[in-house]
Amino acid sequence: MKTMKTLFVSVLAFTFLLSSSRAQEFEPNYEESKVPDYELPDPLIFPDGEKVNTPSEWEKRRKQILQLFENHVYGKMPGKPEGMSFEERKNIPGALDGLATLKEIRIHVEQNNQKHHFDLLLFIPNEPKKPVPVFLGLNFDGNQTVHPNKNITITDAWVSNDDDYNIHNHQATEATRGMKQTRWPVERILDRGYALATIYYGEIDPDYDDGYKNGIHPLFDQEYLDTDEGNNCASIGAWAWGLSRGADYLEQDPAIDNEKMAVLGHSRLGKTALWAGATDQRFDIVISNCSGCGGAALSRRQFGETVGRINNSFPHWFCENFKKYNQNEEALPVDQHMLMALMAPRPVIAASAEEDQWADPKGEFLSVKHAAPVYKLLGKKCLPVEEMPVINRPVYNTTGYVIRDGGHDLNNYNWEIYLNFADEHFNKTWPTK
């Protein structure tokens, strides 16, 4: 009996040491001196070593790179569902003291005898007499969090618990109205002549690991779920798919200029916005805010959150194959500068925050910088600097970058930059009052 007890204690000790060791394995790195030497793959070199010399050759290379990201990072991206319809549940022309028309659109999707729906919240400025450009982005915790307006429906989908906002049993409450409004300056966006559309990402796919059985995953054919190939469509892929369904609605709404759609996201949803922009070229501008590892930051730098750390903490975000590159980033056939290059020739901008070392600001800047050869091949101007700019000094042409003071957040300063960036690339003069 004593021997069995000793063995049991030994097993517990070994398990503890193993888990501790694994946790230490994936600790973030905040020291530049520990960044390994690395060599980035060249987006303009075919697998056989031939150089990409023309825009038409780039289109062929682009398809190869997109497939590499599907197979090794985000998983295969499904196309449009077999069935889809849009149900206008609210249309309030005099919302926000007459500033906007508020719409709620339920997007119904159907495939493989499965049905699902999620809601798009849309604010359209009332003053313009012609279709307006639009920003589309996913939000955390529900559409009701972006503005305290009482007309906005509170999501009944799964949300993360939060004692500060009385969220228990994963259900949102009245206390969540406007809780994230500092990230969504709705009135300012409308005043600049833009519409704003947003979807709660948890209605598309709840953000927890359940083996891809909830959200929209049951709609997908087995080829997008089968992990034998390791390129299953994971949560970031599902959220990006949902953004494309949002674009499906926006391009047929007569109030929206469907040739001027910008997609943006913050943090994990910044990763999502980049993947949506890569897979859906209807997004005319792509904006990444503090997206870090698996987003704008170079994986090979192994700075801040690493591939191993993100896969260990959030195993459902990326496809199974991505886990092969835990502490093995050099073996990746792609890196995030190639993701940025997939946006070309469309404008793309990445933003970092000085205190957000977890997201590796330098790695985000370098991704934008090293996408330049593709943009230049397509006749576009790139970053006007070779070194990281100073704090709060945005730099951009067709590609852009800014690092602001402060921490991991999306705030008014970011939005002013994104509005100015959109003004320039949409050739838009915003209303003055």
Q: Which phi and psi (to 5°) does residue 160 adopt?
A: -70, 140
Contacts of residue 44, defined as CB under 8 A and 6 or more positions apart, other chains included, come to 51, 52, 58, 61, 373, 374, 377
Cβ(197)–Cβ(121) below 8 Å = yes
CA proximity to 267, closest of 244, 287, 252: 287
Cβ(28)–Cβ(306) below 8 Å = yes
Assign residue 212 a region (left: φ > 0; alpha: ψ between -120 and 50; beta: otherwise).
left
Catalytic residue among 235, 244, 267, 299: 267
Whole-angstrom CA distances from 73 to 26, 28, 107, 205 are 18, 20, 27, 18
Catalytic residue among 108, 117, 170, 408: 408
Q: Where are the beta strands (DSSP E) in 210-292?
A: 256-266, 285-289
- What percent helix, strand, coil does the chain show, rounded to 5? 35, 20, 40
Distance CA(365)–CA(433), nearest Å, equals 36
The tokens for 347 are: 């404008």
Strands 195-200 and 348-353: unpaired
Distance CA(310)–CA(302), nearest Å, equals 11
Location of structure tokens 């996913």: 138
Annotation marks residue 408 as catalytic: yes
Cβ(235)–Cβ(317) below 8 Å = yes
Annotation marks residue 425 as catalytic: no
The rounded radius of gyration (Å) of the Cα atoms in the chain is: 22
Using CA of residue 206, residue 210, residue 212, residue 215, what is the dihedral sign?
Answer: negative
Strands 348-353 and 256-266: unpaired
DSSP state of 350: E
Looking at the annotation, which residues are catalytic? 267, 408
